[in-house]
Structure 1
Amino acid sequence: MVGNNRVRVDTSRLRQAAGGMDELGDKAKDIVTTLKNAIQAQGNPWGHDDYGDKFVKGDKGYAKSEENLLAGGDNMVDSAGRFSKGMSDAAAKMDDMDAR
């Protein structure tokens, strides 16, 4: 039960935090893109013999680990963007409520 307690939000600081989250997302995107480009530039150095196939293939092999790592990076970038938008939208809604 909240009673007469009020929630106070400094929307300018919330927008500032949203901008910081957006910058973080941009930096993460640059890192993931650099990683993808570096991996792609290497081609497929493993998997051309029995030993290499054992290293690369399977659920715990290099190829699956690489796929999971890159997907995780993409998810992190998307999440940062969604958090930033949510923070900005919340600030706008709060300002709109105060203006009424």
Structure 2
Amino acid sequence: MAEQRRVRVDTTRLRQAAGKMDEVGRKTAEIMSTLRNTLQSKSYPWGHDDYGDKFVTGDKGYGNSSKNLLDGGDNMARSGKKFGDGMSGAADKMDKMDSGA
């Protein structure tokens, strides 16, 4: 028969880690907001000539690449927040289990 093992979790430290993860998400969101605002303030970054249009347009052009980069950064910010929330929720559940509530 398999040996039973107990998992020990320091919920205080788990909450501290959750706070740090929330901070990562918040900071990432701030960075993405600053980046997005800066890029938007510059408007179209290249001349409307053949060379500039080729650089910006197309599947692998700057237009699609920059959108994908910004979307990825936004996803990272949301993920940081979700991880932090999940860690806090797990700590709460573990404390309730230990207290018999």
Alignment of 1:19-98 (within 5 A): 19-46=19-46, 48-98=48-98
Unaligned runs of 5+ in 2: none
Q: Deviations over 1:23-82 (max 9, x none)?
A: 111111111011001100100122511111100000110001110110000000010010
Partners of 1:47 and 1:56 within 8 A in 2: no
| TM-score with structure 1 setting the length | 0.95
Please give the alpha-carbon distance, in whole angstroms, between the structure 2 residues aligned to 1:24 and 1:15: 14
Deviation at 1:5, TM superposition (A): 1.3
Please give the alpha-carbon distance, in whole angstroms, between the structure 1 residues aligned to 2:4 and 2:57: 61
Change (3 A) 1:80 1:2: farther
Unaligned runs of 5+ in 1: none
Partner SS for 1:40:
helix
| TM-score with structure 2 setting the length | 0.94
Q: Which stretches of structure 1, 4 residues or longer, exceed 6 Å deviation after superposition?
A: none
Q: Which moved more, 1:70-79 or 1:46-55?
A: 46-55
Q: Which amino acid aligns with 2:40?
A: Q
Root-mean-square deviation (CA, aligned residues, Å) is 1.3
